[in-house]
Amino acid sequence: MNHWYIRMSVMLILIGMLTGCLGNRDWEYPPGTPGKFLDLKASHSFSSRVLVLPFNDLRGDEVQEGYWKVTIPLVPYGVTTYDRPEKIKSPEQVDEVHFDPSKDFAKATASELQEAGIFSSVTFAETLGSSSPDLVLHGRIHSTKWERTITTYLLGPLGTAFWILGLPMGNTTTMVAMDLSLTPPEDPSKVVWGMTMEFEGKQLDGPYYGLKDAVQSYPEAIQNALKPAILNLTQLAVKHPDRFAH
């Protein structure tokens, strides 16, 4: 039996079972229902105005599709991995992720900074244009790796019966790795503040839980990745109130 037929067989089983379990696949920030920003507020703030530009995308291009392997008895699991999940042309429905990391991550960062009250104003713009901010926030995205592992408990297609009974069908791992830097608008090479951050989240997936929320793992991951940066800036506002004076 060729790989294409095997893959289609397991996907028909998978999609048939799970289509009704899928929720919104679009980016929404802040995460949660209702969405909430980080509970971090600056007791002091800098008077500087900050402009956030779209982040530089430095991600890889790996695509590994291995769900079909679990249709083979005695094979423990199949793994599908995407470095750029939003760019996959024909993903299975359970893997659809609709977002634009370069802009969406930048907008999320601007919103969190504004909500924290660290600077007098924080706005997002696609270009510096004619605006005259005191500081510009740059970002570089190194990873948004998406990895889903599924198992049929060594039983091939027969193992999907365990999913119906409520056992986990696998898990999803979401990674966000990026760095941020604040610079004067006239000199992007002069970094006055910077931080590198990573966050990896994992959740169990099943027909009755997990899958409809999997797409929200990215807003949750970016918020968790931003947390130490926001905390660091709120502390700097107290300890060094003139650090970013324009």
Q: Are 30 and 104 in contact (CB under 8 A)?
A: no
Domain housing 229: 3-18+46-237
Rounded Cα distance, 22 and 98, in Å? 14
* Other residues' Cβ atoms within 10 Å of the Cβ of residue 22: 15
Q: Quick one: tokens of 188? A: 């992007």
Contact (CB, 8 A) for 59 and 144: yes
Q: pLDDT at residue 2 above 90?
A: no
Q: By the 8 A CB rule, do 177 and 197 touch? A: yes
- pLDDT tens-digit readout, 204-228: 888 777 666 666 788 989 999 999 9
CB 127 within 8 A of CB 54: no
Tokens of 77: 């699991």
Residue 27 lies in a domain: no
In a domain, 26, yes or no: no
pLDDT in the model for residue 212: 62
Question: Measured between alpha carbons, how far is 51 from 191 in angstroms, rounded to an integer?
Answer: 15
Q: Is 138 a domain residue?
A: yes
Give me the pLDDT at residue 12, please.
47
80 occurs within a structural domain: yes
pTM of the model: 0.87
CATH of residue 169's domain is 3.40.50
What pLDDT was estimated at residue 9? Answer: 54
Q: Report the domain count for the chain.
A: 1
